[in-house]
Amino acid sequence: MTDGIRPVRVRQLPAKTPLSSVICHAYWPMPSRKLALVTGANRGIGFEIVRQLSKHDFRVVLAARNRNAGERALSKLDGNVSFQALDVSDEASIQRAAKEFGDKHDHLDVLVNNAAIYPDEGANILTITREQLVATFQTNTFGALQLVQAFLPYLRKAGTARVINVSSGYGELDGLSGDVPSYCLSKLALNGVTIMLDQKLRSEGITVNSMCPGWVRTDMGGPSASRSVEEGADTAVWLATDAPPDFSGKFFRDRKEIHW
C-alpha cells in the first residue's frame, strides 16, 4: 500500500469513459494520521501523553535520552509509535534527532516539550549553585526552545502545528518557591519562552502554549501526589487534539487558562 493512497478493485466502465474518471474511481486519498513528537516520554506524564495520543489515531515519536529505557517503553504500547533517541540537554543530540526525523518524515503536527529534571532536593535559593542552575535550565528551558528551532521546518509544513510546553504551577509568578529554586526558575523561563514563541509563530498558524499537569504520581512527583498520570496528561492531549487553534500564547491547567 502506498502512503496515503489505497488501491481498490476497478469495476468495468464504458469504453469511452475519460481516463481521469477511471483514475478517480481507482484511487482516492486516505486521511493522513497526524504526527506528534513527545520528549522525555519513556515514563511518567510523557509516556501517558504518547499512549493517549496514539489512541487518538496519531502517529507518535516517543523521544528519550536513554535508548534502552525508550525501547522498553515502546514495547508496552500499541499503535503507530516509534522511538527517537534524544537528549534535550545536548545541542548535538537535538540536531542529530532533527536530521534523523527528517529522513523519515516531512512534517510535524505536534511537538510536546515534556522532558524535565527536578534536582533541587537539599538546596534553596540561598544555597543553589550556578552549576546546578545551568544544568536545570539546559534541560527544562533551553532544550525546549532549541527543539522548536530545530524542528521548525517540519512544524511549518504541517499547516496548523501545535507546540505544547509542559510547565508547572511552580513556574507561576504566584507559585515560586525559594525551596525549589532551579526548577521554579526554569519553568518560569519556559513560560516566557512560550509567550515569545507565540509572538513570532502565531501569524504562521503555529499554536504555542504552556500547561501545568498538577502534582502527579510519577517518579518526580512521588507516591503521595494527588493526581494520576492520566489526569496529568489530559490537558496536554487536549491541547494537541481538540483545543481551539486560537488558544495560543496561554497557560492552562485542567483545560482552563490560568495566570502566568
Query: Is-contact 41 47, C-beta < 8 A?
Result: yes
Q: Concatenated DSSP letters for 186-249?
A: HHHHHHHHHHHHHHHHGGGT-EEEEE---SBSSTTT-TT-SB-HHHHHHHHHHHHHTS-TT--S
List the Cα angle 218/66/39 in 5-degree steps: 60
Q: Where are the alpha helices (DSSP H) in the chain?
A: 19-26, 44-55, 67-75, 91-104, 130-137, 143-156, 181-201, 229-241
Q: Look at residues 46, 2, 51 and name the one whose alpha carbon lies nearest to residue 27.
A: 2
Per the annotation, the verdict on 183 as an active-site residue is yes
Phi (first) and psi of residue 257, to 5 degrees: -70, 140
Q: Look at residues 33, 44, 46 and name the one whose alpha carbon lies nearest to residue 109.
A: 33
Phi (first) and psi of residue 251, to 5 degrees: -120, 125
Query: Helix, strand or coil for residue 159?
Result: coil
118, 154, 170, 183: the active-site residue: 183
Query: Helix, strand or coil for residue 57?
Result: coil
Q: Look at residues 31, 36, 60, 62 and name the one whose alpha carbon lies nearest to residue 239.
A: 36
- The residues that are catalytic are 183
